[in-house]
């Protein structure tokens, strides 16, 4: 049996170099098939949601409030220690060492952060948190010193 199972996603150290490089090359291939940046963004978001769905089937998250849950999700899924700022229902996440957006390339406009916000929002929703909006504010792929994501969240739903 393959050791690359859903359960292994949360038990092993992920190889982010390979994943990040694959995302860059995948975008280059998509461009060869004349996909627009908007289409590439939608596909990366969808990939993130699918990854989030897989994580949700194998991982249990214990945080009691939304801010702590977001921190836990970034730590478990991306091995990132993030800073969270909250203003009403808007949670802004700063990740100084984003695993999927380490380098800036002239031919890459769509950041790997799309996978991150898709994945995190899917896990939040599967844990009873309504995600009204999500947005990439800053990204290392665009030359910023850090990645910053924003989530507008609703009330936690009871299961």
pLDDT, position 2: 52
Query: How far is residue 67 from each of residues 10, 22, 91, 103, 106, measured CA to CA in Å?
Result: 21, 30, 7, 28, 34
**How does pLDDT run across 35-44, given as a tens digit for each residue?**
999 999 999 9
Query: How far is residue 82 from each of residues 26, 47, 67, 78, 118, measured CA to CA in Å?
Result: 27, 22, 11, 10, 17
* Full set of structural domains in the chain with CATH: 6-156 (3.30.1380.20)
Strands annotated E in 17-124: 83-87, 90-95
What is the average per-residue pLDDT within 46-58?
Answer: 93
pLDDT exceeds 50 at position 110 = yes
Question: Which residue(s) pair with 152 in the sheet?
Answer: 90, 133
What is the average per-residue pLDDT within 142-153?
Answer: 96
Query: How much is the pTM?
Result: 0.85
More confident residue, 117 or 155: 117
Mapping DSSP to helix (H, G, I), strand (E, B) and coil, where does residue 134 land? Answer: strand
């Amino acid at each position: 049996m393959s050791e690359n199972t859903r359960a292994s996603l949360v038990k092993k150290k992920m190889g982010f170099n390979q994943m990040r490089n694959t995302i860059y090359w995948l975008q280059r291939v998509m461009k060869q098939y004349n996909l627009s940046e908007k289409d590439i963004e939608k596909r990366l978001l969808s990939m993130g949601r699918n990854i989030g769905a897989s994580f949700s089937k194998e991982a249990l998250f214990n945080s009691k409030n939304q801010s702590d849950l977001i921190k836990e999700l970034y730590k478990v899924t991306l091995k990132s220690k993030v800073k969270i700022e909250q203003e009403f229902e808007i949670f802004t996440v700063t990740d100084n060492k984003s695993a999927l957006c380490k380098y800036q390339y002239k031919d890459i406009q769509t950041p790997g952060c799309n996978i991150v916000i898709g994945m995190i929002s899917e896990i939040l929703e599967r844990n009873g948190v309504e995600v009204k909006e999500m947005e990439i504010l800053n990204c290392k792929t665009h030359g910023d010193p850090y990645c910053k994501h924003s989530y507008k969240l609703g009330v936690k739903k009871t299961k």
